[in-house]
Amino acid sequence: MVSSERCLAVDDEFLTSNMKEMIGGCCVCSDERGWAENPLVYCDGHGCNVAVHQACYGIVQVPTGPWFCRKCESQERAARVRCELCPHKDGALKRTDNGGWAHVVCALYIPEVEFANVSTMEPIVLQSVPHDRYNKTCYICEDQGRESKAATGACMTCNKHGCRQAFHVTCAQFAGLLCEEQGSDADNVKYCGYCKYHHSKLKHKERDRHKPKHKKCSMDMSPSLVLPNIMVPEKNYNSTSTGGGVASLPASSQKRLEDSAGRFTNVNFQEVSSTLSGSASKDCLSADGGKAVSDPKNKKNSSSVGTHAVDRGVAAKRVVPHWSAPPPPSSSPVAPSAPQ
Torsion of CA 248, 249, 251, 252, to 10 degrees: 160
Decide if 227 is inside a domain.
Answer: no
- Among 75, 107, 122, the domain boundary falls at 75
pLDDT tens track for 225-273: 444 554 545 545 454 444 444 445 455 555 554 554 455 455 554 555 5
Neighbours of 119 (CB within 10 A): 9
- Nearest alpha-carbon partner for 194 in 210, 180, 206: 180
The pLDDT value given to residue 3: 58
- Among 41, 75, 109, the domain boundary falls at 75
Instruction: Yes or no: say if 206 and 267 are a contact pair by the CB < 8 Å rule.
Output: no
* Strand, coil or helix: 65: coil
- Nearest alpha-carbon partner for 266 in 210, 212, 173, 328: 328
The pLDDT value given to residue 204: 85
Same domain membership, residue 42 and residue 135: no
Q: Which residues of the chain have pLDDT under 70?
A: 1-24, 186-187, 210-340
- Nearest alpha-carbon partner for 28 in 189, 207, 201, 154: 189
Same domain membership, residue 88 and residue 45: no
Decide if 224 is inside a domain.
Answer: no
- Among 75, 108, 124, the domain boundary falls at 75
Neighbours of 337 (CB within 10 A): 13
Same domain membership, residue 154 and residue 87: yes
pTM above 0.75, yes or no: no
Same domain membership, residue 135 and residue 92: yes
The pLDDT value given to residue 107: 97
What's the domain range around 84? 77-206
The pLDDT value given to residue 99: 93
Decide if 313 is inside a domain.
Answer: yes
The pLDDT value given to residue 61: 93
Helical residues (DSSP H) of 187-335, grouped into ranges: 196-210, 266-287, 291-294, 296-316
**Residue type at 44 in one-letter notation:** D
Same domain membership, residue 151 and residue 54: no
Those residues whose C-beta lies under 8 Å from the C-beta of residue 332, and which sit 6 or more positions away, are 273, 276, 277, 280
**Residue type at 328 in one-letter notation:** P
Chain centroid to CA 331:
64
Same domain membership, residue 318 and residue 287: yes
The pLDDT value given to residue 234: 53
Distance CA 126, CA 61 (A): 26
Decide if 217 is inside a domain.
Answer: no
- Nearest alpha-carbon partner for 152 in 170, 128, 178, 176: 170
The pLDDT value given to residue 26: 96
Distance CA 7, CA 12 (A): 9
